[in-house]
A and B are shown apart, each in its own frame.
Chain A
Amino acid sequence: MTLDLVLKRSPDAAYRVYDGQATIVLPSHASVHVLNPIGSFIWERLDGSASLSQILERVLDEYDITREAAEADLRQFVGSLLNQGMVS
Chain B
Amino acid sequence: MSSSPVATDDRAAFLARDESRVPGDFEPGDDYFATPREPFGVLCLRLEIGPLCFVLNGLSDDQAAVLAKRFRPFVDTREKEVEEGAPAADLTIRFARAGVDAFLAAPRGEAEFYRMGRRATGSRIAIWSYEFAGTADIAQGHADLALVDADGPLFERGVENFLRVLTALHILKHGGLLVHAAGVVRHGLAHVFFGPSGSGKTTVTHLSPGDTILSDDLTLIVKAEDGYAAAGIPFGMAHHRVPDTNGCFPIAGLHRLVQSPEVRRERIFGAKALAEIACCLPFVMQDEPSAGAALAIATGVVSSVPIDRLLFRRDPSFWDVAQEAAGG
A16 touches B7 (CB 8 A): no
In the complex, A32→B10 CA distance in Å?
6
Q: Which residues of A contact B9 (CB under 8 A)?
A: 33-34
Q: Which residues of A contact B8 (CB under 8 A)?
A: 34-36, 39
In the complex, A42→B292 CA distance in Å?
20
Partner of A14, one of B1, B5, B288: B288
A38 interface hit (Cβ, 8 Å) = yes
A80 interface hit (Cβ, 8 Å) = yes
Partner of B291, one of A14, A33, A38, A63: A14
Partner of A35, one of B5, B278, B291, B296: B5
- Give the B-binding residues of A (Cβ under 8 A): 11-19, 21-25, 27, 29-36, 38-42, 63, 65-66, 69-70, 73-74, 76-77, 80
Partner of A23, one of B1, B12, B17, B295: B295
Q: Which label, helix, strand, loop or mixed, suits the secondary structure of the B interface? A: mixed
With both chains docked as a complex, state the minimum distance between the C-beta of B254 and any C-beta of chain A, in angstroms.
Answer: 15
Q: Which residues of B contact A27 (CB under 8 A)?
A: 285-288, 291
A74 touches B5 (CB 8 A): yes
B100 interface hit (Cβ, 8 Å) = no
B residues 266-302 in Cβ contact with A at 8 Å = 269-272, 274-275, 278-279, 285-288, 291-292, 294-296, 298-299, 302
B287 touches A23 (CB 8 A): no
In the complex, A16→B296 CA distance in Å?
7
B299 touches A77 (CB 8 A): no
**Other CB < 8 Å A-B pairs besides A35-B271, A40-B271, A73-B5, 10 of them?**
A21-B271, A23-B278, A25-B278, A27-B286, A30-B15, A30-B17, A34-B11, A34-B271, A36-B5, A73-B4
A70 touches B287 (CB 8 A): no
Partner of B288, one of A12, A32, A40: A12
Q: Which residues of B contact A32 (CB under 8 A)?
A: 10-11, 14, 275, 278-279
A13 touches B1 (CB 8 A): no
B residues 1-38 in Cβ contact with A at 8 Å = 1, 3-15, 17
- Which range contains the number of B residues in contact with the other chain? 35 or more
Give 27 CB contacts A-B under 8 Å.
Answer: A14-B295, A16-B295, A16-B296, A17-B271, A19-B269, A23-B274, A25-B14, A25-B285, A27-B286, A27-B287, A27-B291, A30-B13, A30-B14, A31-B14, A32-B11, A33-B7, A33-B11, A34-B7, A35-B8, A36-B4, A36-B5, A38-B5, A41-B5, A65-B1, A66-B1, A76-B4, A77-B5
With both chains docked as a complex, state the minimum distance between the C-beta of A42 and any C-beta of chain B, in angstroms.
Answer: 6
Q: Which residues of B contact A80 (CB under 8 A)?
A: 6-7
Contacts A18-B274, A19-B269, A31-B11; is A36 near B286 (CB within 8 Å)? no
Q: Which residues of A contact B272 (CB under 8 A)?
A: 21, 34
With both chains docked as a complex, state the minimum distance between the C-beta of A58 and any C-beta of chain B, in angstroms.
Answer: 12
Q: Which residues of B contact A70 (CB under 8 A)?
A: 1
Q: Which residues of A contact B292 (CB under 8 A)?
A: 14-15
In the complex, A63→B275 CA distance in Å?
25
With both chains docked as a complex, state the minimum distance between the C-beta of A15 and any C-beta of chain B, in angstroms.
Answer: 7
Q: Which residues of B contact A65 (CB under 8 A)?
A: 1
Q: Which residues of B contact A12 (CB under 8 A)?
A: 287-288
In the complex, A65→B13 CA distance in Å?
34
A13 touches B288 (CB 8 A): yes
Contacts A22-B271, A27-B288, A30-B14; is A39 near B7 (CB within 8 Å)? yes
With both chains docked as a complex, state the minimum distance between the C-beta of B32 and any C-beta of chain A, in angstroms.
Answer: 25
A76 touches B6 (CB 8 A): yes
B288 touches A11 (CB 8 A): yes
Q: Which residues of A contact B295 (CB under 8 A)?
A: 14-16, 23, 25
In the complex, A23→B299 CA distance in Å?
10
In the complex, A66→B278 CA distance in Å?
35
- A11, A12, A18 pick with most chain B CB within 10 angstroms: A18
In the complex, A27→B296 CA distance in Å?
16
